[in-house]
Chain A
């Protein structure tokens, strides 16, 4: 009897398990206001959450597999006619074997959820100093137009250390702009505006590919993101804008009006 009431207490305590990760999270500074996400860029943050998740599922999987393998080896049939001897569960045990595992899973789910929530906010809150680049997808081409009016296909040059937000739309079918290095994907659709942002933190080139099936040359729809240092970037902009004078729509209309 004494043991039974102890069991009740243990089971009740297990109900609180899922709260632990949530509370632990709540005791940290509110994530969205945590100064610059520990200095992480979203893709570094992504890597951190990814590794934690991988560790989590690896431990779960290995433990589970080891237990099962142990059972499979220990309980091989010894002789003809032998039968399984699974003890029949008391009602209390039956409920316990539902509630406790569920609370453990829920605890782990919540733990991962708060990690994911934090990362999600990091991805979806654009820094105020981000420069905007317009990206138009079409079969099978990426067209980038940056704030300087530099219009280029399948190649985007950005300045190191300045966050970039891509404002995206598709000309024809669905596309999805994925940047390998920056770990961010978002679909492009006709008639709807979507966006993604990234922080070009290191010099060099990386790949941007299409990740939504878009026809024959889907696998041929890829481009480069080139990160240049501030000086190189300024030189690049100067060179590009000198050769291609930018004319805005307004200027065009005004010119037309003046001719009338």
Chain B
């Protein structure tokens, strides 16, 4: 492959030295780091927006702003940037680019140049999205961008929204083609499909979902802009458009997009659980098939986002059932996670603290999704804080914690240094407690009727549950805010002045990115082409003769 900036894959430790090398790199690991930096920057921006909104909602009446447009701008930025800028790039950018190729024993991604294009498309998308904070007619139509509101002048710059979604969509599609090909064709000698780590399986499946569904979103959003600026009227009922169609198309992508986030972060949990418990993943093959089952199952559930949108009754009832079916593959994944603990030898490292937090929050997040699947229950809680709390438990609390667990897990491989273990655990506890105080009470506020996307709740001023839930939630955000800030400080401190990693495999993993590379994997990833022996399995801790914590050069190709 010609993608190594003229160097032969020599496995030399270290990273690019000059700015030029950093920017024009074709190395998947450096690109992965660019994804990580972009997604953490997005997390900071969207997190600040969340904090501002939470403070505004702390009490009835204006707290820090009385301007609905400003609040709606924060809300739009929070939702769009968290999902499109933080979660998807962290999982399908950082994890997919940095970890997956090494985990399958590949030298790089299948198409390094396409990979570089993807990451810079992501960055231009993020920068364009941030532009929304400074332009005068900023877009405030939420990340969903439903017409007809997004076709009015009041919404602001719809073109910016469309461009961001389309650019990030292109980035995702290129990235997905690349990753799917990497997993399918760049695996090292000896590694069969059912010998891949579950992280790889989850990211692979998520990317297949992206490939199938992202073009639909990009097309529907493109038509939105054509509607607004060129007057086509695709979504305008006055001239024969269908006002509901956009919602259907949007969620046709965006519900699968939830699994695009869920699967990779569960993949991280599998990796950390197995490594920390030094145990095989429970029922590995069934877990893989459950992961794959998400592709067909997720494609037929979108109507549960539009139960109250006047769609035919039979369609609501049909998709209530298909939505409930998600519990089957998802339940198997949860069962595997718990089963991985059974008779394990669990070591509670820093990443494991984050992962355990993510796991328990996923129990809450998943189970609170069950009532929402019932169309009839949805009539009472649609677009309320019940929904908001549910998906924050899944995506923000669990997803966020799993992503950070992954960052802590691979941190030594990125920087060659360790994060302070105590501070890692402290921030994990702080984030866990803080987010529960933010999101827990809001579930009860939602049961009382509190709607989403409100900057104020004057009409519920005499409802003690809602008022005190909002109050407590705002207290929680301070704890979360401090923990997240501290976490970033821990990373920065770790990267600059952390204790140097003495082992290439600090957690005792069996996976190739730890066992067969230098402390910081060099270009070409492996000192010599890697292969795995017959019967090798990434979670086989029992039969592996290698001692814990000892760096070793890995399998160096003696078996073919």
Tell me the A residues contacting B by CB distance below 8 Å: 43, 46, 49-50, 53-54, 56-58, 60-61, 64-65, 67-68, 71-72, 75-78, 80-89, 94, 97-98, 101-102, 105-106, 108-109, 112-113, 115-120, 122-124, 139, 172-174, 176, 178, 180, 183-187, 189-194, 196, 207, 209-220, 222
Decide: A86 and B344 in contact? CB cutoff 8 A: yes
Decide: B148 and A172 in contact? CB cutoff 8 A: yes
Which residues of chain B from 492 to 511 have a CB within 8 Å of any chain A CB? none
Decide: B278 and A46 in contact? CB cutoff 8 A: no
A105 to chain B, nearest CB (A): 5
Residue of B nearest to A78 (CB): B345
Can you give 10 A-B contacts (C-beta < 8 A)?
Answer: A72-B356, A75-B345, A83-B541, A84-B542, A113-B321, A113-B374, A186-B310, A193-B310, A217-B68, A218-B68
Q: Which of B286, B316, B338 contacts A120 (CB 8 A)?
A: B316
B330 to chain A, nearest CB (A): 9
Check A120/B376 contact, CB under 8 A, given A71-B341, A94-B285, A215-B155.
yes
Give every chain B residue within 8 A of A77 (Cβ-Cβ): 278, 345-347
Q: Which of B286, B342, B348 contacts A86 (CB 8 A)?
A: B342
Decide: B279 and A211 in contact? CB cutoff 8 A: no
Decide: A98 and B286 in contact? CB cutoff 8 A: yes
Give every chain B residue within 8 A of A192 (Cβ-Cβ): 237, 243-244, 310
A-B contacts besides A105-B327, A193-B310, A207-B449, 6 pairs, CB < 8 Å: A50-B371, A64-B334, A68-B359, A77-B347, A189-B237, A213-B453
Give every chain A residue within 8 A of B364 (Cβ-Cβ): 61
Tell me if B133 is interfacial: C-beta within 8 Å of chain A.
no
Check A178/B451 contact, CB under 8 A, given A46-B376, A49-B377, A65-B363.
yes
Alpha-carbon distance A174/B306, docked complex (angstroms): 12
Alpha-carbon distance A68/B336, docked complex (angstroms): 11
Alpha-carbon distance A119/B454, docked complex (angstroms): 28
Decide: A219 and B455 in contact? CB cutoff 8 A: yes
Give every chain B residue within 8 A of A58 (Cβ-Cβ): 367
Give every chain B residue within 8 A of A190 (Cβ-Cβ): 148, 237-238, 243
Q: Which of B69, B324, B342, B367 contacts A216 (CB 8 A)?
A: B69
Tell me if B136 is interfacial: C-beta within 8 Å of chain A.
no
Decide: B308 and A68 in contact? CB cutoff 8 A: no
Q: Which of B121-129, B259-267, B379-387 contacts A (4 or more CB under 8 A)?
A: B379-387
Decide: A189 and B243 in contact? CB cutoff 8 A: yes
Alpha-carbon distance A190/B237, docked complex (angstroms): 7
Residue of B nearest to A98 (CB): B286
Check A84/B343 contact, CB under 8 A, given A54-B371, A178-B449.
yes
Count of chain B residues near A, Cβ 8 A: 88
Residue of B nearest to A174 (CB): B146
Give every chain B residue within 8 A of A106 (Cβ-Cβ): 325, 328
Q: Which of B282, B363, B380, B456 contacts A61 (CB 8 A)?
A: B363
B452 to chain A, nearest CB (A): 7
Q: Which of A82, A86, A211, A216 contacts B451 (CB 8 A)?
A: A211
Give every chain A residue within 8 A of B455 (Cβ-Cβ): 218-219
Give every chain A residue within 8 A of B460 (Cβ-Cβ): 207
A44 to chain B, nearest CB (A): 12
Alpha-carbon distance A235/B321, docked complex (angstroms): 47
Tell me if B421 is interfacial: C-beta within 8 Å of chain A.
no
Decide: A185 and B380 in contact? CB cutoff 8 A: yes
Decide: A84 and B359 in contact? CB cutoff 8 A: no
Which residues of chain B from 126 to 172 have a CB within 8 Å of any chain A CB? 140-142, 144, 146, 148-149, 152, 154-155
B279 to chain A, nearest CB (A): 3
Q: Top 6 closest A-B pairs, CB basis?
A: A84-B279, A191-B237, A116-B374, A183-B380, A119-B376, A180-B449
B271 to chain A, nearest CB (A): 14
Alpha-carbon distance A94/B194, docked complex (angstroms): 15
Q: Which of A53, A84, A193 contacts B278 (CB 8 A)?
A: A84
Tell me if B536 is interfacial: C-beta within 8 Å of chain A.
no
Alpha-carbon distance A214/B146, docked complex (angstroms): 9
Give every chain A residue within 8 A of B321 (Cβ-Cβ): 109, 113
Q: Which of B317, B338, B380 contacts A71 (CB 8 A)?
A: B338
Decide: A216 and B154 in contact? CB cutoff 8 A: yes
Check A187/B367 contact, CB under 8 A, given A49-B376, A64-B334, A115-B374.
no
Alpha-carbon distance A119/B377, docked complex (angstroms): 8
Decide: B324 and A113 in contact? CB cutoff 8 A: yes
Decide: B376 and A123 in contact? CB cutoff 8 A: yes
**Chain B 350-378 interface 0/1 with A at a Cβ cutoff of 8 Å (1 = within):** 00000010011001100110110111111
Q: Which of A49, A81, A112 contacts B324 (CB 8 A)?
A: A112
Alpha-carbon distance A87/B237, docked complex (angstroms): 62
Decide: A174 and B68 in contact? CB cutoff 8 A: no
Decide: A101 and B148 in contact? CB cutoff 8 A: no
Tell me if B457 is interfacial: C-beta within 8 Å of chain A.
yes
Alpha-carbon distance A88/B540, docked complex (angstroms): 11
Tell me if B331 is interfacial: C-beta within 8 Å of chain A.
yes
B282 to chain A, nearest CB (A): 7
Give every chain B residue within 8 A of A214 (Cβ-Cβ): 149
Give every chain A residue within 8 A of B149 (Cβ-Cβ): 173-174, 213-215
Most chain A beta carbons < 10 A, residue from B69, B282, B359, B376: B376
Check A68/B345 contact, CB under 8 A, given A53-B377, A57-B367, A101-B331.
no
A95 to chain B, nearest CB (A): 8
Give every chain B residue within 8 A of A185 (Cβ-Cβ): 308, 378-380, 382-383
Give every chain B residue within 8 A of A122 (Cβ-Cβ): 376
Give every chain B residue within 8 A of A209 (Cβ-Cβ): 449, 451, 459
A73 to chain B, nearest CB (A): 9
Give every chain A residue within 8 A of B342 (Cβ-Cβ): 71, 75, 86
Decide: B309 and A120 in contact? CB cutoff 8 A: no
**Chain B 190-214 interface 0/1 with A at a Cβ cutoff of 8 Å (1 = within):** 0000000000000000000000000
Decide: A116 and B376 in contact? CB cutoff 8 A: yes
Alpha-carbon distance A97/B336, docked complex (angstroms): 10
Q: Which of A67, A108, A184, A191 contacts B380 (CB 8 A)?
A: A184
